Structure 1
Amino acid sequence: MTQNEKIFLLVAETLNISKAAEKSFVTQQCVSDHIKRLENEYGTKLFHRKPYMHLTPAGEIVYNSYKNISLIEENLKKNLSDFSSERKGYLKVGMSTTRSKLLIPKLMEKYHKLFPDVQISFFSGDTKILEKELLNNKLDIFLGINTRLNLGLNVETVCEDFLYLVINKNMFKEYFSKNDLKNFKKGVDLNKFKNIPMTSYNKTGALYKLLQQHLITHGIELHNIPCYTSECDVQIDLCLNNVTFSIVPRMLAINFLENTDIYFFPIKDFNYPLRVDLVTNQYLEKPLYIEAFIKILKDEVIEFSSELFL
């Protein structure tokens, strides 16, 4: 990348001429001159200076393009350093903590036998957070839910899952009858749970938005939510301790399905797809060890899904 382009990226990311100058070890006037040259070259303003500094629509396009160029250059250097052997390298993978517990043990057992010289770091977070990390080249792959379409992302849906309501049997007895148990096995009406303590998802997560779609569509308001967490195993633990009920993907509840202390119910009229997506950066080349990891990860997810819904 040219110096103009590198300094533009710094300004676009800091939205501060002074900070960009400090990071690039030049004067503020020098930074301003670089931006002015780019604006003259493209014949349009790239930043609004007032009432605060922010990108123009044209600046957004330039930023996304330069960011992809930067990622491609970084990846080129990485690939060339690993060129002598595509069986050696470093891999950064993102997925939720609960999925990590389910998938990583068997996944690593298979993968490490084939690629013993590849070092893997696993990172956790909501899909929205992992998406941003991938676009910033801080991840190579992530497993997410209902990933948004983005020009920089290659999104492959591996399987679909379903949301289930989880409630402790003692809590169920406190609020419902045996007749309700029979009816709920066909699908629960969340209106009947609006005053019962619930653990919900953090508002940045894809599952929170998916659940909100259902609630808004059916005119349902849940009034008693004392706790928020995106970790499904924590939600189920709270159910086991009779603190709250929760709504979790069935795949992530697999280790608890045989537990005799809690009930699992499908949700009535829940018609929103819950896609499990494997996401990579479409502009980056993938050496053999990454392609192999993707294949094994997909196989593990599909196997979990197949066993669950037999």
Structure 2
Amino acid sequence: MNLLSLEYFLVAAEEMSFTKAAVRLYITQQSLSGHIKKLEEYFGCSLFDRGNPLTLTKEGLGLQQAARKILAAVADTEKEIQDIKDLRNGELSIGITRTRGNLYLPPILTKFHQEFPNIQLTIFEGNSQETETALDRAKIDLLIGYPPLSKNSMQSIPFWKEETVLVIPYQILVRYFPAEYRDILSGSRKMNLRDVRHCPVLAMDVETRLGRRFYEACGEQGFLPKVVLKAKSLSVLVPLCLNGLGIMVCPEVFLLPYRNQIGSREDGRVFLSPISDVFPPKDMCVNYLKSKYLSATARGFVRIIEQEKAQLAWNLY
């Protein structure tokens, strides 16, 4: 008995036709019949009742269940052996948006390299749509980002909640809320998205997830934002906001490099206001294809993210 004969037997058992099974396996019907005959000789019994239609005998049904287990065990063993080889000299590709890569990856990659010094890492940078497409086409192993829109084909492991905040330059607070800005800075006066409907806005392009949700939220609040500039990258908008050009909504993690310019008093260049009522916290996840085996290297990367997520507990307020 050999594994190839078991594989051929399972296909024949699924098709219940030697002709169809041979076509599916790209072999001749004579070759398939030879493999089935060898199995029957090995076990000393008939595996098929060769009537019309073709059916499995009781022995054939028993072998069908056993063959599935045997071949699954062999496949798992092959993967485990490949994992051992990969840990010695393997590769891992990770997709992430450009700005998030600068923020999330340094501590994670440092720890990963310490544990897996022989693994070659490749970072695929792009916008959300580009990285999701790369994962969907199996061009990368893992994607760090929001759960992809094509959720049916992908598995997501959450590791962090991203808060989206309203970012208001101090000079805009003073100009548009002259009688209230001190109460706003102290926290006694809460802000919401509708409060800033008259303020100049720096907006993400509507083609982006954040931009699309921002325009939707403004519509739900009953106003059209006064956009003075729009872009496809937060790395373009944040410095302009810090210089007072306009307000913006932004995931708080993108403000980490500028935390010394954020304050609740006049000493800060911008003020942050939570807007979770219209921008609920979103899961940041490690995403991978359900159909693709998750290697030991990839599992190690996920484990390190789980271990390091406490380091991501930034408090920007």
Partner of 2:53: none
CA deviation vs aligned residue, 1:174-210 (integer Å, no higher than 9, x gap) = 2222514424745423233334332222323222233
Q: How does 1:1-310 map to 2 (within 5 A)?
A: 84-177=85-178, 179-183=180-184, 185=187, 187-231=190-234, 233-259=235-261, 260-267=268-275, 269-270=277-278, 272-304=280-312, 306-308=313-315
TM-score scaled by length of structure 1: 0.66
User: Percent identical across equivalent pairs?
Assistant: 19
Cα pair 2:193 2:221 within 8 Å, conserved: no
Amino acid at match of 1:88: N
Query: In structure 2, do the counterparts of structure 1 residues 178 and 140 end up closer, same or farther at CA, with 3 Å as the change threshold?
Result: farther
Measured after TM superposition, the shift of residue 247 of structure 1 is 0.8
TM-score scaled by length of structure 2: 0.64
Amino acid at match of 2:260: E
Amino acid at match of 2:301: F
Name which one, 1 or 2, has greater alpha-carbon Rg.
2
Provide the C-alpha distance between the structure 2 equivalents of 1:110 and 1:183, rounded to a whole number of angstroms: 41
Cα pair 2:147 2:284 within 8 Å, conserved: yes
CA deviation vs aligned residue, 1:214-270 (integer Å, no higher than 9, x gap) = 223222310224222233x33221112222222111222233233122211122732
CA deviation vs aligned residue, 1:256-295 (integer Å, no higher than 9, x gap) = 2331222111227325342212211111112221111112
Measured after TM superposition, the shift of residue 96 of structure 1 is 2.0
Provide the C-alpha distance between the structure 2 equivalents of 1:239 and 1:271, rounded to a whole number of angstroms: 19
- Number of aligned pairs? 234
Query: In structure 2, do the counterparts of structure 1 residues 298 and 148 end up closer, same or farther at CA, with 3 Å as the change threshold?
Result: farther
Cα pair 1:191 1:221 within 8 Å, conserved: no
SS for the counterpart of 1:132 is: helix
Provide the C-alpha distance between the structure 1 equivalents of 2:182 and 2:253, rounded to a whole number of angstroms: 22
Query: In structure 2, do the counterparts of structure 1 residues 301 and 246 end up closer, same or farther at CA, with 3 Å as the change threshold?
Result: farther
Amino acid at match of 1:201: M
Cα pair 1:86 1:287 within 8 Å, conserved: no
With 89-98 and 175-184 compared, the bigger mean Cα shift is at 175-184
Provide the C-alpha distance between the structure 2 equivalents of 1:209 and 1:222, rounded to a whole number of angstroms: 13
Where does the alignment leave 5 or more consecutive residues of structure 1 unmatched?
1-37, 39-76
Amino acid at match of 1:242: G
Measured after TM superposition, the shift of residue 135 of structure 1 is 0.7
Cα pair 1:156 1:277 within 8 Å, conserved: yes
Provide the C-alpha distance between the structure 2 equivalents of 1:163 and 1:138, rounded to a whole number of angstroms: 30
CA deviation vs aligned residue, 1:52-82 (integer Å, no higher than 9, x gap) = xxxxxxxxxxxxxxxxxxxxxxxxx999876
Measured after TM superposition, the shift of residue 146 of structure 1 is 4.7
SS for the counterpart of 2:246 is: coil
